[in-house]
Amino acid sequence: MEIATIVTTLELIAPLTLAGPWDNTGLILEGDRPIERVMVTIDLSEAVANEAREKKVDLLVCYHPPIFSGLKSLTALTSHGPALLGLLRKGVHVYSPHTALDAAAGGINDWLVAMFPGVTDARPIVPDELNTQTGAGRIVTIDGTTLGQLVPRIKNYLGLDHLRISGELDTTVHRVAVCPGNGTSLFKELSRSDAVDLVLTGEMSHHDVIRHRELGHVVIISEHSHTERGFLPVYANRIQEAHPDLTVLVSESDRDPLQTV
């Protein structure tokens, strides 16, 4: 399969027009291999690049773009340099969907809100101009329950032993806002009229947590990539369904850079 064919599929799953204007999405590194084996990952680390080479992967789909801002050089000393250079020498393609995959219908935002009971009235925090059912973040109404009842449900869904929480466990939650990764800037689009009880994201600064508490919001933080990584098997399955003749893998070496000890 040619790279253009599967890029078309990836853009149907997550149209790049939905990505943030500041983002860098799409085909990041164009190799020269025909596509037979695809691997999805959150980050491009040297361990992931080594795994891709060992498994003879032709296309590596990295959720986070390994080239993000202006690139003045590509050496062993630049960010992601060794990994990208190794893949380039093997002719491996690298693609990144990032915020397009967050915002898409059935994307990471929708996957996150699916963990809550009785979800209704789902809408983006910032809707896309052309399709208002898609866009950045999600706000939903859920069956009324307490934070204490939600915590084990969220931990199980995200596959975690620990969460960071700001709020009382007996707080009743009816309205939830979510954002994968870092929700700091997006949650600033919330207003008091949104009547949100809980905000959930991967990371947030100390002062923004305080701001949300002053607005009456309970805050749940999972660490950045824990709001994203669980979606990878879903994403891989969609690629596989579109192209049954391909082998589509989920990286086994991809890890969040932080751990709780």
The enclosing domain of 16 has a CATH number of: 3.40.1390.30
Whole-number pLDDT of residue 261: 82
Q: Are residues 133 and 64 in the same domain?
A: no
φ, ψ for residue 140, nearest 5 deg:
-140, 155
Q: Is residue 79 part of a domain?
A: yes
Whole-number pLDDT of residue 248: 98
- Greatest C-alpha distance within the chain: 57
Q: Is residue 253 part of a domain?
A: no
Q: Are residues 222 and 109 in the same domain?
A: yes
Q: Is residue 234 part of a domain?
A: no
Q: Are residues 91 and 111 in the same domain?
A: no
What are the structure tokens assigned to 81, written together?
A: 């340099």
CA 251 to chain centre: 15
- Which of 40, 70, 101 terminates a domain? The answer is 101
Give pLDDT < 50 ranges for the chain.
none
Whole-number pLDDT of residue 77: 78
- Which of 101, 135, 153 terminates a domain? The answer is 101
Q: Are residues 68 and 111 in the same domain?
A: no
pTM: 0.95
Q: Is residue 35 part of a domain?
A: yes
Into how many domains does the chain fold?
Answer: 2
Helix and strand numbers, DSSP H then E, in the chain: 9, 13
Whole-number pLDDT of residue 259: 86
Where do runs of H (alpha helix) occur along the chain?
3-13, 46-54, 81-89, 98-103, 108-113, 147-158, 184-187, 206-214, 232-242
Q: Are 113 and 49 in contact (CB under 8 A)?
A: no
Q: Is residue 236 part of a domain?
A: no
Q: Are residues 110 and 88 in the same domain?
A: no
Whole-number pLDDT of residue 108: 98
Q: Are residues 160 and 222 in the same domain?
A: yes
Q: Which domain holds residue 210?
A: 105-227
